[in-house]
Structure 1
Amino acid sequence: MHLVENWAVLATAAALLQPCSAAPSIHEPRAAAAACSLSSKDTWDYIIVGSGPAGMPLADRLSEAGHKVLLLEKGPPSSGRYGGTMKPSWLQNTNLTRFDVPGLCNQIWVDRQGIACTDYDQLAGCMLGGGAAINSGLYWKPPPADWDTSFPTGWKSTDIAGAVSKVFTRIPGTTTPSMDGKIYLPQGYQLISGGLKQAGWTEIDANKENDKRNKTFGKTTYFFSGGERGGPLATYLLSATERKNFAYWVNSGVKKVVRTGGHATGVEVECGGSTGVVGLTPNTGRVIISAGTFGSAKILWRSGIGSKDQLDVVKSSSDGSSMIASGDWINLPVGENLYDHVGTDVEIAHNSVVPYDFYAAWSRPNSADSQAYLNGRTGILAQSAPNFGPMFWDIVKGTDGIDRHFHWQARVEGSRTGSMTVTNYLGTGSVSRGRLTINNQLKTIVSKSPYLNSAADKAAVVQSIENFRNAMKDVSGLTWVRPTTGQTTSAFVDSIPATAGSRNSNHWIGTVKMGTDDGRSGGTSVVDTNTKVYGTDNIFVVDASIFPGHITSNPTAAIMAVAEHAAVKIQALPFPAAS
């Protein structure tokens, strides 16, 4: 299934095609999480809720600026660097966990106990690092259209270029994650890239030529470093933990923001079987919610921020007796504008393609492969399961005149030996939207599907898949598994239900939309262009939930860039007492 990719977030350009330089050794444990202290009278300049690819850069940049920062994570530690312990037997006696070894990322599909959020109806990661701790590590520089198509003034590609540069300077990325610089089992890449090249598509370096995203292809890029997962866990969070003005708590879930009118005074936290309020610095303290598209919406609803129908649901739940009075509710369209990349899997097969059993690598790895990894961070286990590549791009002019941007991602897995599943992702330019709601058990639900509820979106998907079929038609020995050779592309697309179960990419965005049209006055936006929640003076949201429309690039890099940009904007705002 296409779900496997999605867990599914620049140094010098010359470095991008080189092996990653070694990260600080993971065998040197870093600062462990502080114990939650609900009885403490300590207050914080910034409380950041959620440690995903937005929360970690925010924590680093704000603590770097000298602010006293607390990062709260509802789940457990992940990487061995931070005290994580979940691992197979062959990693015993090392400080590596399942989250550190790229080749073990597929394990989430068979074992998610204690890792996946239990209060959403979709799969999401609840542990230190969020989705960046369990996804496939795919990582490429957003093209200008990602920002310019739907983001507001102040967030266009020219505005956010500095933030993007900061992210890729900090985390260069690599196309050769094995420390020996080799790509292992490249036959799948060679098959598809050869077909595309023969059909006239152009090979590019995805991060040096990020403005070339039409009839182009390239090697898959990852945020790995030193043969390990790396990414924001090994950079942004690592440097934050070295500062005395920063602390982070794990297994500490936030119920709601505690506020008087539009001013937050703290957050209500559950940890260690107890509940208490952690306070903000009086007058100048700020809350930044970075709990993801589902989690951020849920915290806002429980804080009395959202549309009345959803706040009434919360009022009828176990939260009812302690919920803020209805006279202080802030009416905003939280949960609207839900979107996800529309994922459509096609499958091809060829006798040149060599599969690898990444699931077996958990309990019965090939000894040569596990030793190569342990001894030198080399080999197939330094690559992300299930062996990705190539990635390629296509732009289709919609029947409504809007350009639809498609990203394709190939991987070596499928229904038969020699299969490759190739996922077509519809991103920038799509107009279909859904809705997220909450039930009285306080579980978030995708109540309206965001997939292909526009005829123009569906027609563009059909055309993009047709473009790929045509590109591969002269590849000798290639077999089409899905769609079959005699099946029309239109019939194939129509045969796949437009539901989360069949189309889910787990690249969810949009439920706390950013924009200039204040949702309290009939607009569609929940936060302004400084990421501040309308109707409040010190409550912010920074993560994929604020994206106004979808993007074509993988969300991880874009989310980190949004966090870098937002950190500057938020700090520049005057405090309420000074305004």
Structure 2
Amino acid sequence: MLARSLLRALPLFGAAFKALAQTTSWTDPANTITFQAFTDPVHNVTYGAVFPPLSANSTEFIGEIVSPVANAWVGIALAGAMVDSLLLVAWPNGNSIVSSPRYATDYIQPTWYNGATLTTLPSSTVNATHWKWVFRCQNCTVWNGGSINLNSAPTWAWAVSTIPVDTPSSANSTFVEHTDFGFWGEIVAEAHASASDYATWASGGKVAPTSTTSVSSSTTSTSTSATATVTGTPYDYIIVGAGPGGIITADRLSQAGKKVLLLERGGPSTGETGGTYNAPWANGTKQLNRLYWIPTDQDFSTANGWPSAWTNHAPYTAALQARLPSTDHPSTDGKRYLEQSATVVAQLLAPQGYRNITINSSPDSKDHVYGNSAFDFINGKRGGPVATYLQTALARTNFVYKDYVYVSNVVRNGSTITGVKTNDTSLGPNGVIPLTKNGRVILSAGSYGSPRILFQSGIGPADMISVVEGNAAAAANLPPTSQYITLPVGENVSDNPSINLVFTHPSIDAYENWADVWSDPRPADAAQYLKDQSGVFAGASPKSEGITSRGRIGINAALTALPLVNPWFTDPVDKTTLITAINDLLTTVYTVPGLTLITPDNKTSIVDYVNNYDPGNLDSNHWVGSNSIGSVVDVNTKVIGTNNLLTIKFVVDASIIPALPTGNPHGTLMSAAEQAAAKILALAGGP
């Protein structure tokens, strides 16, 4: 029962990573302040910081942001993440700069943080092309839940938006999500000034500058000259997204001797990847969800939207099972724990003619059956591609994995793909990573991420490419309009509607609703799991249904992927079917001693309950279909319209699945990745 609410969404961006661009010493001639500074070459924003002497053990620093006016607001996250980090946000308002310290405990609008004091220094300016914010940040090296190590090189994060804040004159203004974000290594250990220089700068004065070293900038007139050019390493395959599809594909391609680069926007997840707690993370939602349904023949049938060449999924599903064995008793002692609910469910279903089976031993048996949930656990621990496929890939010298890399678009020359554009300038000039001759790009960024990248690459419906054209920074990376490729990217989206019924029964152990299972578990259960991975913690919680409704995924002005049309109950038959199923389920509820339905209550009919269910709670995060095979990608998962003899682009993630499978889609996705990798390798003209 770990998947429901145990893992708090706290991205771990706290340590410097080798792939990140690092700051260098740079003196702003306008104010003589010498910063450890970094310039993001994509948006041409310079970020700098200088601290008092290390011996002073101070809690403040002086910072500087220099930005083109195209960026309506710019922010810094001192912990390298939005959540539980001190955030500094600024924007121009007329001829002045408005700023505020912010804080967020979740991915919501950050609110004012009372612990820090920001003072805008006199050398701050606004002109026709740029705005510059020079500021003193007091009580800023320690905040709720975090701090800056003053003798280290922490990872800091930047965020920019081309969309103005709602009330520019107010430091408390709300604003929409950033247009882009990224990371850099701020070498705080080398950013300490003398006490006298720091005091002079903090008061708005100037000192005689010492030696200067440039930071890179291509257009910012107030910045300095460019640093040495970074040469990008070419790869046979660049795979964008380290979810289950991306990891499995990367492992199989590198196993075949191809030079493979796997890019992940998030960071480490489990211990195998260096993580302790994190989301977003390598392996995406698959690292959270250990429910494991072996796909049925129906799941890969032509009736379910698959080409006939995909219907023979058996050898690929077998290859998947060889790496990821299924179990319905994940504890190493062979026992099942917290089985009270299973006993009650059996009492509920048996009178209705349901048979108890081992789910994954009979994957095609789906009519009036039930069984213990099947999971992807190995030796009492969560398995999955990170624990298996990624580990074998990492052992190969021809495989490279980089996290915290945001891919904005593929680099195109007509229908030829020459590389990908990222936020990481250490991987290539201006963040561009090239392909080898005949190299290929594979998008595995998920049902939201892959469509966004296609839109930003000039591939998709005209209205979505038009949104990209309206964003100055993103529009600069689009190919000529004559090279746009019109495809139904983002259409045909489906997701399981999640309608919850709540029962009570005197035998059920709610296990404190799992509220403090990480921080304060029951001592005996924790000791048992740590000893041999057995007991209560060697389990997870299931949910699955099927639908025929369809929706649409697109992007907004901030280039954030989101549902444009929700996929739940657009076909009224789905709602009718669901209501019938719930009523069927409840026919025997009163035959189970002690079982009581409390949601909905006894005054609410099932029809009213479903009709009035909050649409915001329907999401099961089982999104598939936004790059459906047959309409966006062909039988080889190649994006339609990118066919040439040089480089082509593929999509291998849940977005290619044309319709929801019978069970949780993860098993179907991983089998599809096995098959896609084989088809890509067999396709002529590759590296």
What TM-score comes out, normalization by structure 2 length?
Answer: 0.65
Superposed CA offset, 1:488-531 (max 9, x none): 3222211214x2x121100011111111xxxxxxxxx1111111
> Following TM superposition, by how much is the alpha carbon of 1:155 offset from its aligned partner in structure 2, in angstroms?
4.9
Amino acid paired to 2:510: P
Cα contact 2:589–2:596 (8 A) shared by 1: no
Q: Does structure 2 retain, via aligned residues, the 8 Å contact 1:337–1:434?
A: yes
AA of the residue aligned to 1:541: V
User: Would you say 1:541 and 2:651 are equivalent positions?
Assistant: yes
2:523 and 2:262 map into 1 onto residues whose CA distance is 39
Aligned-partner Cα distance in 2 for 1:251–1:272: 12
Aligned equivalent of 2:431 = 276
Partner of 1:180: 333
Q: Kindly state the Cα deviation for residue 203 of structure 1 after the two structures are TM-superposed.
A: 0.7
SS at match of 1:288: strand
- Cα distance change on mapping 1:83 and 1:5 into 2, 3 Å: closer
Counterpart residue type for residue 243 of structure 2:
G
Q: Highest relative contact order (Cα 8 Å, sep 6+), 1 or 2?
A: 1
Mapping of 1:144-293 within 5 angstroms?
144-148=297-301, 149-157=303-311, 159-271=312-424, 275-282=430-437, 284-293=438-447
Tell me what 2:578 maps to: 461
Deviations 1:460-488 (A, max 9, x none): 11111111111434112211112334543
CA distance in 2, matches of 1:455, 1:163: 35
Q: Which residue of 2 aligns with 1:296?
A: 450
What secondary structure sits across from 2:252 in the alignment?
helix
**Partner secondary structure for residue 234 of structure 1:** coil
Alignment partners' CA distance in 1, 2:335 and 2:3: 26
For residue 488 of structure 1, what is the aligned residue in structure 2?
605
Residue 402 of structure 1: aligned partner: none
Asked if structure 1 preserves the Cα contact closer than 8 Å seen for 2:409 and 2:477, the reply is: no
1:566 paired with 2:676, answer: yes
How far the C-alpha of 1:294 sits from its partner, in A, is 0.2
Closer/same/farther in 2, CA of residues 293 and 257 from structure 1, 3 Å limit: same
Are the equivalent residues in 1 in contact too, given 2:331–2:533 (CA < 8 A)? yes
Aligned to 1:21: none
The match for 1:451 among 568, 574, 578 is 568
On the 8 A contact 1:302/1:311 being kept in 2, the answer is yes
Structure 2 counterpart of 1:54, which letter?
G
Deviations 1:291-345 (A, max 9, x none): 0000000110111111111101001113122322212111111111111111111
Hey, what does 1:64 align to over in structure 2? 255
Candidates 11, 14, 19, aligned match of 1:35: 19
Q: 2:464 maps to which residue?
A: 310
Query: Which of 433, 438, 451 is matched with 2:555 structurally?
Result: 438
2:504 is the alignment partner of 1:380: no
Task: Give the whole-Å Cα distance in 1 for the aligned partners of 2:276 and 2:340.
Answer: 35
Please state if 1:319 is matched with 2:303: no
Contact 1:6/1:507, CA 8 A, preserved across alignment: no
**219 and 436 in structure 1: CA distance in 2 versus 1, 3 angstrom threshold:** same
Alpha-carbon distance in structure 1 between the residues aligned to 2:7 and 2:417: 32
Separation in 2 of the partners of 1:549 and 1:34? 40
Aligned-partner residue type, residue 388 of structure 2:
T
Q: Distance in 2 between matches of 1:494 and 1:166?
A: 43
The residue that corresponds to 1:557 in the other structure is: 667
Which residue does the alignment assign to 1:52?
Answer: 243
Specify the alignment match of 2:264 in structure 1: 73
Which structure has the highest strand share of the two?
A: 2
Does the CA contact (< 8 Å) of 2:493 and 2:552 recur in 1? yes
Bigger Cα Rg: 2
Higher helix share: 1
Secondary structure of the residue aligned to 2:564 is strand
Q: Structure 1 residue runs of 4+, over 4 Å off?
A: 5-8, 272-275
**Would the aligned equivalents of 2:323 and 2:388 in 1 still touch at CA under 8 Å?**
yes
Identity of aligned residues (%): 38
> How far does residue 271 in structure 1 lie from its aligned partner after superposition?
2.5
Is the aligned partner of 1:333 residue 2:488?
yes
1:126-154 Cα distance to aligned partner (Å, 9 max, x none) = 3111111222x000112222222323323
Instruction: Describe the shift of the 1:155–1:352 C-alpha distance in structure 2 as closer, same or farther (beyond 3 A).
Output: farther
- 2:449 is paired with a residue whose SS is helix
CA distance in 2 between partners of 1:541 and 1:33 (Å): 28
**Inter-CA distance 456–547: structure 2 relative to 1 (3 Å threshold):** same
Q: CA deviation at 1:43?
A: 1.1
Distance 2:410 2:498 in 1: 35
Aligned-partner Cα distance in 1 for 2:18–2:556:
33
Q: Does the Cα contact within 8 Å between 1:48 and 1:72 map onto a contact in 2?
A: yes
d(CA) in 1 for partners of 2:6, 2:590: 28
1:512 aligns to 2:627 (yes or no): yes
In the TM superposition, what is the alpha-carbon distance from 1:426 to its structure 2 partner? 3.6
Shift of 1:172: 0.7
Q: How does 1:124-143 map to 2 (within 5 A)?
A: 126-135=280-289, 137-143=290-296
Say yes or no: does 1:348 pair with 2:503: yes
CA distance in 2, matches of 1:273, 1:61: 27
Return the letter of the residue paired with 1:544: A
CA distance in 1, matches of 2:680, 2:308: 13
- Deviation, 1:201, is 0.7
Q: 1:353–1:214: structure 2 CA closer, same or farther, 3 Å change rule?
A: same
TM superposition score normalised by structure 1 = 0.76
Report if aligned partners of 1:147, 1:155 keep a CA contact under 8 Å in 2. Answer: no
Unaligned runs of 5+ in 2: 9-15, 22-228
Structure 1 contact 34–249 (Cα < 8 Å) conserved: no
Q: In the alignment, residue 598 of structure 2 is paired with which amino acid?
A: V
Q: Which amino acid in 2 is paired with 1:570?
A: I
2:591 is the counterpart of 1:474:
yes
Unaligned runs of 5+ in 1: 9-31, 87-113, 116-125, 389-408, 410-422, 516-524
**Could you tell me which amino acid in structure 2 is paired with residue 35 of structure 1?**
A
- Superposed CA deviations along residues 273-303 of structure 1, whole A, max 9, x for unmatched, are 9841111111x20110000000000110111
Task: Tell me the equivalent position of 2:178.
Answer: none
Q: CA 1:445–1:303 in structure 2 vs 1: closer, same or farther (change >3 Å)?
A: same
Q: CA RMSD in A?
A: 2.5
Q: How many residues were matched structurally?
A: 464
Tell me if 1:529 matches 2:638: no
Distance in 2 of aligned mates of 1:2 and 1:285: 40
Q: CA separation in 2, counterparts of 1:152 and 1:35?
A: 39
Say whether the 8 Å CA contact 2:553–2:561 is kept in structure 1. Answer: yes
Pair 1:130–1:576, CA change in 2 (3 A):
closer
Is the 1:177–1:227 contact (alpha carbons within 8 Å) kept by the matching residues of 2? yes
2:519 to 360, 363, 373: 363
